[in-house]
Amino acid sequence: MTSHPEPDLMPALSPDGRWLAYVSHGNNNYDIWVKPAAGGQSFPLTTHTSDDFSPAWSPDGKAIVFISRRDDAEGDLFLMKVKEREGRLEPGKVTRLTENFMRETTPAFSPDGKILAFSRGPSGHERIWLYHLKNKTAHPFKNIIGTHPAWSPDGKHLAIIAPVAGHSGRQLFILAADTSASEPARQMTFIGNNNFPSWSPQGNMIVLQRSETGNSKAGTHLRLIQIFDG
């Protein structure tokens, strides 16, 4: 897909499958780039002198949320409108969503496009937060420690990565997205360091990245986790 001599990271496919947004390192910083998924020329959506990374598409494909260090060295949430014109995807208005001097990472749109889930806090002690786009407010999600929130396709659950007290590694948990629900968190993995969960379209599987704890030679691999109701 890419052959840039510098690192290309954090791919995000548009909801219609036509565009690939990703992070590329050039000009001594990271920017958001995009290219047709079927192949073609890559071009930048951001060109700021500070790092921009962690792109995530809105469900309608008309906006991309990302993390930028342009106003905060720890990184804040920004929203960029995008529009297709003459075979290219052009950047539009960029809006800063959060102003918080704590580290923010891994934003994700809810399936209805109304809420952003993301993590906030120092590395190793992040908590999941929710940002409501309509009223422009953010609040902690059940005061849960974790990172890499991923919405189920029906919007009813969030998959997160979180530590387990007394154990090494970070595990996959599934929680009800409704903050008033009494449904307990379900731990889905029990070994290794797990990251970057992604749901299947049917919501019955999650693929994630896993590295084995205590074994530097084991490498990092992808694992498929079956999700059962109940």
pLDDT of residue 112: 97
Q: Is residue 18's pLDDT more than 80? A: yes
Q: Are 9 and 23 in contact (CB under 8 A)?
A: yes
Q: Which domains does the chain have, with CATH numbers?
A: 1-100 (2.120.10.30), 102-230 (2.120.10.30)
> What is the reported pLDDT for 50?
92
Q: Report the candidate in 214, 213, 196 with the shortest Cα–Cα distance to residue 225.
A: 196
Alpha helices in the chain (DSSP H): none
What confidence tier does 214 reach under pLDDT thresholds 50, 70, 90?
low
| Whole-prediction pTM | 0.91
The predicted-structure confidence for 218-227, as pLDDT tens digits, reads as follows 688 999 999 9
pLDDT exceeding 90 applies to what percent of the chain? Answer: 75
Which residue in 72, 70, 76, 37 sits closest to 54, CA to CA? Answer: 76
